[in-house]
Amino acid sequence: FFSRVNVGCGPAEERVLLTGLHAVADIYCENCKTTLGWKYEHAFESSQKYKEGKFIIELAHMIKDNGWE
C-alpha cells in the first residue's frame, strides 16, 4: 500500500531480502505496537528502486474482523 493510518514506523536498517539488499523500516500498529510489516526506505539495486517509499503488510499479521475475507 502507499499510505497508512494509525501505523508507526521504526528506524531504517539494511536487510537482505529475496530481491537483494534494501534499507527497510518496520511498521507497527500505533495502538497495540504489533509489527505489521515494513517500509522500503532505499533499494541498493537499480532494478528495485520502484519499491522505495512503499509499504508491505505481512499476511500473518492480518486479523479477520467484521466478516471480511
Domain count, the chain: 1
Whether the Cβ atoms of residue 37 and residue 55 lie closer than 8 Å to each other: yes
pLDDT of residue 25: 97
Give the whole-angstrom CA distance, residue 15 versus residue 55.
15
Position 64 in a domain: no
% of the chain residues with pLDDT over 70:
81
Q: Give the per-residue pLDDT at 47.
A: 95
Residue 49 domain-assigned (yes or no): yes
55: Cβ contacts below 8 Å, ≥ 6 apart? 1, 2, 4, 7, 27, 37, 38, 39, 40
Label residue 66 exposed, middle or buried (CB < 10 Å: 0-12, 13-18, 19+): exposed
In a domain, 2, yes or no: no
Q: Does the residue 19 lie in any domain? A: yes
For residue 4, pLDDT beyond 70? no
pLDDT at 20 > cutoff 60: yes
pLDDT in tens, 35-52: 989 999 999 999 999 999
Task: Supply the range of the domain harboring residue 48.
Answer: 7-58
Domain assignment present for 69? no
Average pLDDT over residues 17-22: 93
